[in-house]
Structure 1
Amino acid sequence: MYFAVMPHLILRRLNFDAAARAPAATQGTDRAVRDAVNPNRNDAAEPANAGPRDATQENGFENDIGRCRIRKELAKMSSKPTEGCTVELVDGSIYTWSAVILGPSNTPYEGGHFPLEIRFPRSYPFEPPVVTFRTKVYHCNIDNGNICVDILSSAWSPSLTVEKILLSIQSLLSDPNCDSPLNSDAAAMYKKDREQYDRLAREWTDRFAKPVAPTPPQTPPQ
């Protein structure tokens, strides 16, 4: 009688242990999803490793979260624009934005209007968007439109937003990181001759990033 009952007891114990472990296995995934949908949560966390899931279901799940998140960010930035930043869709695509940031005051970029292109991956916000300058900029951390800033790579988190990205790029214009350059020549100039660096940055701003004044309408001859 003792030996007949023991297997059932063992099986019940195994089932209980498995059920107790299940919530812990999904806790990290649930936290990352909450951060993605609502990036303004006070307890937003870094993305956690998700458990095994069917690839088709996972891609569709991420796409739904991405579209919802992108629309939410666009609505917020359209209704309450961030100072010095504007965004709009490109050709009606939710995954491609055009943005403009204003050059910060008291920098060589002051007075410049810098257009950027923002391309969202289908896995956004679990992966960062690709952001590129559409005009030339003389800067240690910008080269051929590409931007070297950690929040677009190693420091990315689903809790970050386009608004925070644009503000970070504005801050980068004010405070270059010449110890981690993308344009090594500009970084060398920054360290060797800051005055010349600022002069070149200002010249590029005047040449490539100044908005074109509208042409006044011509008065027809009397």
Structure 2
Amino acid sequence: MAAKRITREYAEISESPPSGINVSLDNDNVHKWNVVMAGPEGSPYAGGTFHLSLTLPPEYPFKAPVLSFKTRIYHPNVTNDEKGSMCIGILKSESWKPSSKILAVLLAVQDLLREPVPDDALEAQIADKFKNDRPGFERDAKDAVKRWAK
């Protein structure tokens, strides 16, 4: 059942991709997607290209996918390391619903790039800078885009 739904969702996103998002399968495996996301305009990530990995469990849609940044990013809700783990509401086990779709997850990531959620941070120092020194945060995020997301 999972593979059929995943295949259908993949086809929908591939045929009509949302602005700034492209997906491809990792070695033709419907449970592993490569996602390329442009940094949203109007955010400090604009101009950057971010590669993400989306893994769909065999229990999908009853269990949430796992999404991580392969491109390093300076963001309070993403670990600033090679793992790129992220904290996003829609993927939390208590928030995930079987009716949720992968497209909604990808759009939520774009929204998170536009507006971080510092009160749900994985990187406390970055969240603190976001809250208390917004110009400094934006400068550091833009510098990181130049360094890692080109």
Q: By how many angstroms is 1:122 displaced?
A: 0.4
Q: Which has the higher strand share?
A: 2
Which SS does the other structure have where 1:147 is aligned?
Answer: coil
2:90 alignment counterpart: 151
1:198 alignment counterpart: 138
Number of aligned residue pairs: 146
Q: Which has the higher helix share?
A: 1
1:120-151 Cα offsets, whole Å, 9 max, x none, are 11000000011000011111111130110111
Matches of 1:160 and 1:101, distance apart in 2: 20
1:90 alignment counterpart: 26
1:185 alignment counterpart: 125
Which SS does the other structure have where 1:99 is aligned?
Answer: strand
* Bigger RCO of structures 1 and 2 (CA < 8 A, at least 6 apart): 2
Q: By how many angstroms is 1:202 displaced?
A: 0.3
Q: Which amino acid aligns with 1:99?
A: V
1:36-58 Cα offsets, whole Å, 9 max, x none, are xxxxxxxxxxxxxxxxxxxxxxx
Q: By how many angstroms is 1:77 displaced?
A: 1.1
Q: Which amino acid aligns with 1:163?
A: L
1:116 alignment counterpart: 52
Question: How large is the Cα RMSD of the aligned pairs?
Answer: 0.9
Question: Between Structure 1 and Structure 2, whose CA radius of gyration is higher?
Answer: 1
1:102 alignment counterpart: 38
TM-score (structure 1 length as normaliser): 0.64
1:133-189 Cα offsets, whole Å, 9 max, x none, are 001111111113011011111211111111111110000011111111111010111
Q: Percent identity?
A: 37
- For structure 2, the residue ranges without an aligned partner over 5 or more in a row are none
1:215 alignment counterpart: none
